[in-house]
Chain A
């Protein structure tokens, strides 16, 4: 019988949650790497038992862990992330230029075809790649050549947090950076260009600047990789042309501020967001935790509330903390800064808490297992 495996990264370790295809009963395994921040874990699409995890701490820096058995056991691999050449500088909070300094890996994106190849999104923003299963990492410096001197950190740091690999075109990669924007490569990461036309950010001096936008997350459906969805600092956006231009689709959302956005596994126009009250108040409007679903690719949104707390709820849902499985009845999952992981086995109609008291959840990924 098919099943699912959730890979949950938290402020104090990693957890592996498993269930069968009904997604009613769950086994919780962890913490792995207790006491360490686990920004992200992800499995290889071609070898689901090959997992990678980003483990870091303010004291002891960055480690990358690899599992060959679906997260039962782990081995540290390479942790040397060195910017290519002279790293150069980017905008700093005081308007001066500041040298690039590696801090941590926010996101790991395994190749769609090779379990030994993985992309890593770093803070300070850069893209690294391994082709030997994580033993060695090399930067793809062409990304920082895309006006990197104008990028600047947001309050959460200058992080490359989203990496999308186009399943129909091995040369095409999308990334998103806070606070720089979205970028696309059409030559497997050698050269990049900003794809931020149509974004409008009142929080920066030129609201329609080519770079400098605080993009929180972008998402695509694998069957329609030219259509992108974006949750920006404020505004939910859609692109029909692989990011060449964007249009706002916030529609009737109670707030268009938020962090994650994701797409239904089988319906490319069904998308999910979790509205947050504002950039000053990182919790749900009215203390009601609501996922919003659009079945029309945006603009028209419905609140999904059944099984979610509808009073006195003041958690946040971070950008990498939502995902969907690919079972026939699409499952949707998200984790909160309050340590809850919620699951829906019916595309968001109803929700249940898989666990309630984990450390603050940083990321949730799901693997659909045979």
Chain B
């Protein structure tokens, strides 16, 4: 199972508490995880990536295995540790001060 950690606002929106566990078929990529996530929680469509272009929203980031994967092509296979569920795929909002 793939583990996905969502930021506070998206957890509230999807009415979940803690990490999400997803069964992701085929190669485990950003795109495959987000497809599975949005299929389970349709309310998240448009909040992480654009409805039409499927591009990551500017202030959303993807981390895993202590790496920033935000700029990787969405079809790039993710690290084995994410694919095996040993590590979470982290979706988070960029930090903002003020």
Contacts and interface: CB of A to CB of B under 8 A. Distances in A.
A62 interface: yes
A326 interface: no
Contacts, number: 39
B51 interface: yes
B57 A60 contact: yes
B46 interface: yes
A79 B49 CA distance: 12
A169 B57 CA distance: 41
A227 B84 CA distance: 67
Given A59-B57, A60-B57, A82-B51, A76 B13 contact: yes
B10 interface: yes
B13 A59 contact: no
A155 interface: no
A58 B46 CA distance: 12
A154 to B, nearest CB: 22
Contacts of B57: 59-61
Measured as residues with beta carbon below 8 angstroms from the partner, the interface class of chain B is 10 to 19
A114 interface: no
B52 A60 contact: no
A59 B94 contact: yes
A82 B52 contact: yes
Contacts of A76: 13, 43
A117 interface: no
B51 A58 contact: no
A60 B45 CA distance: 10
Interface string A56-75: 01111111000000000000
A80 interface: yes
B48 interface: yes
B91 to A, nearest CB: 10
Interface in B49-98: 51-52, 57, 59-60, 93-94
A350 B21 CA distance: 57
B51 A60 contact: no
Interface of B: 7-10, 13, 43, 45-48, 51-52, 57, 59-60, 93-94
Interface of A: 35-36, 57-63, 76, 79-80, 82
